[in-house]
């Protein structure tokens, strides 16, 4: 790999005798990985028995196809192994309030959701409008139930959520040095000046992020760069600028090593953070630090969220009839409509009228004239609470389904909506009319499955 000359010179100076092994690692293959969704059960051995990533709960080494049943159903999520260390370091507890501030494309958000298991609150935010759409698709496919998706800047969010979250994750936009091997195009815009520009932006983000951590809460900071300016030096700046925060030791296994205080101001506390180097482990380059805020009094966000409109009596009856007949269980959260769309919104949100809301909660479906049409997101969120009205389909029928085709059954069950499952995984809702299953797989997500 033709690394930038300034990059080689910089890391030969910083790493000394270790530099040869570090630079040689860029010419070795990158390692693929994926996480298993804990809401899904009865997964095949080919998914669950591959080597585990030692530092990441739910993580495995290996590649998964984006055109596979396991991927489409949300049973697995493809993620680079080093990136899994970030979510594993945050490891939120059930019931906690969690913010993923720079969340697209959604790998770390879905990892956080695996710990929360539908409890608490997960606010996931992405400032870029195009990237927030990708984030929403991945949150939906993973079946996340308790997430609110925002499309905002940190300075607009900090007044909305003062002292609010148990965990705030800042996976900061960075110079991307740790991804050179996986994404060589990242080298095209890298420069020493670009590193400084990234560090400036990271300080701006962190200045707002710390305001949203409740007293006693934690801020997890991560980058996918080796640059000390964005890593150890950034944490040294935080410790000096925000004295009510201190670093918490991170458990390091599988080749993860201490951060390097000598690359900043020499403060030995910086060694509590973690570095992931590709020449020391199976994975790309990352830096992760865990900061904790001192205990104290918290400000209380004002007001309650009003994110939509209450259901009419007709809408409530349509929803209840569907929920009782097809799901067989209630859905947690406050039910609201946004135009004709029905959502389940997490409880006890503050007033979000000054935030740009991309999705207020779990999308349940659409009200149409005298009928209710369930959402794809609701189907994929049903893995751990199986519906009462389900229809098991074959692999061949699943291939037709994701391609947008209807298919015919050998016998005609009772007409109506069914949660379709294949290999015991939920894949969407279908409407049975006679012996035909009408296709409601989202048009923008349809694909063709090719045999290996």
At residue 303 the predicted structure's pLDDT band, cuts being 50, 70 and 90, is low
Tens of pLDDT, residue by residue over 62-121, are 999 999 999 999 999 999 999 999 999 999 999 999 999 999 999 999 999 999 999 999
Convert the pLDDT of each residue in 330-377 to its tens digit: 898 999 999 999 999 998 899 898 899 999 999 999 999 999 999 999
Gap between the Cα atoms of 335 and 337, Å rounded: 7
Q: What is the CATH number of the domain that holds 263?
A: 3.40.50.150
Evaluate whether residue 164 is within a structural domain: yes
Please give the pLDDT value at position 302. 61
What pLDDT, on the 0 to 100 scale, is given for residue 45? 94
Does the residue 445 lie in any domain?
no
User: Annotated catalytic, 422?
Assistant: no
Sequence-distant (≥ 6) Cβ neighbours of residue 347 within 8 angstroms: 332, 333, 334
Report which DSSP code applies to 408.
E
Distance CA 120, CA 108 (A): 17
Annotated binding site for S-adenosyl-L-methionine: 102-108, 126, 152, 171
Q: Which residues are annotated as a binding site?
A: 102-108, 126, 152, 171
pLDDT digits (tens, 9 = 90+) for 200-259: 999 999 999 999 999 999 999 999 999 999 999 999 999 999 999 999 999 999 999 999
Q: Which helix (H) or strand (E) covers residue 351, if one does?
A: none
Which pLDDT value is given to residue 189? Answer: 92
Residue 262 has pLDDT above 80, yes or no: yes
Look at residue 380 and tell me if it is in a domain: no
Count how many domains the chain has.
1
Domain assignment of residue 169, given as a range: 5-293
Domain annotation covers residue 61: yes
Average pLDDT of the residues in 388-408: 95
246 SS3 class: strand
The average confidence (pLDDT) of the chain is: 95
Start-to-end CA span in the chain (Å): 30
Asked if residue 287 belongs to a domain, the reply is yes
> Is residue 400 domain-resident?
no
pLDDT at 8: 97
Residue 262: alpha-carbon gap to chain centroid: 33
pLDDT value of residue 306: 75
Question: Residue 261 and residue 233: Cα distance in Å, rounded?
Answer: 9
pLDDT digits (tens, 9 = 90+) for 130-166: 999 999 999 999 999 999 999 999 999 999 999 999 9
Whether 315 is covered by a domain: the verdict is: no
For residue 429, being part of any structural domain is answered with no
Active-site residue (options: 174, 198, 224, 422): 224
Distance set, CA 204 to CA 52, 169, 197, 243, 388 (Å): 37, 15, 11, 17, 50
Tell whether the model's pLDDT for residue 298 goes beyond 80: no
């Amino acid at each position: 790999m033709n690394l930038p000359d300034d990059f080689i010179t910089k890391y030969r100076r910083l790493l000394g005798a270790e530099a040869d092994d570090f630079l040689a690692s860029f010419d070795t293959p990158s390692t693929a990985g994926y996480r298993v969704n804990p809401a899904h059960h009865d997964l095949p051995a080919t998914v669950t028995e591959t080597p585990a990533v030692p530092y990441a709960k739910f993580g495995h080494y290996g590649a998964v196809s984006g055109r596979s049943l396991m991927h489409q159903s949300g049973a697995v999520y493809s993620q680079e192994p080093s990136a899994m260390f970030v979510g594993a370091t945050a490891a939120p507890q059930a019931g906690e309030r969690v913010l993923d501030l720079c969340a697209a494309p959604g790998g770390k958000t879905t990892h956080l959701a695996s710990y929360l298991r539908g409890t608490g609150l997960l606010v996931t935010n992405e400032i870029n409008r195009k990237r927030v759409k990708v984030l929403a698709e991945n949150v939906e496919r993973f079946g996340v139930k308790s997430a609110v998706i925002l499309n905002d800047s940190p300075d607009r969010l900090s007044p909305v959520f003062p002292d609010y979250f148990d965990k705030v994750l800042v996976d900061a936009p960075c110079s991307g040095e740790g991804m050179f091997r996986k994404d060589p195009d990242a080298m095209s815009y890298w420069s020493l000046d670009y590193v400084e520009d990234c560090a400036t932006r990271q300080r701006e983000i962190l200045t707002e992020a710390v305001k949203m951590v409740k007293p006693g809460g934690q801020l997890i900071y991560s980058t996918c760069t080796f640059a000390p300016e964005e890593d150890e030096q950034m944490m040294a700046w935080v410790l000096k600028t925000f004295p009510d925060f201190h670093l918490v030791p991170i458990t390091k296994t599988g080749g993860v090593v201490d951060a390097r205080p000598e690359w900043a101001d020499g403060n030995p506390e910086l060694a509590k953070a973690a570095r992931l180097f590709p020449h020391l482990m199976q994975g790309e380059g990352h830096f992760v630090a865990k900061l904790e805020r001192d205990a104290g009094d918290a400000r209380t966000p004002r007001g309650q969220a009003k994110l939509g409109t209450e259901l009419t009596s007709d809408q409530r009856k349509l929803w209840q009839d569907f929920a009782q007949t097809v799901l067989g269980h209630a859905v947690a959260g406050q039910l609201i409509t946004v135009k004709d769309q029905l959502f389940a919104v997490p409880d006890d949100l503050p007033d979000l009228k000054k935030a740009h809301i991309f999705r207020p909660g779990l999308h349940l479906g659409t009200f149409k004239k005298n009928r209710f049409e369930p959402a794809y997101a609701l189907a994929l969120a049903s893995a751990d609470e199986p519906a009462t009205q389900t229809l098991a389909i074959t692999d061949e029928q699943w291939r037709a389904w994701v391609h947008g085709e209807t298919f015919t059954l050998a016998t005609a069950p009772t007409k109506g909506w069914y949660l379709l499952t294949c290999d015991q995984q939920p894949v969407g809702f279908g409407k049975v009319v006679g012996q035909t299953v009408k296709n409601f797989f989202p048009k923008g997500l349809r694909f063709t499955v090719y045999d290996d």
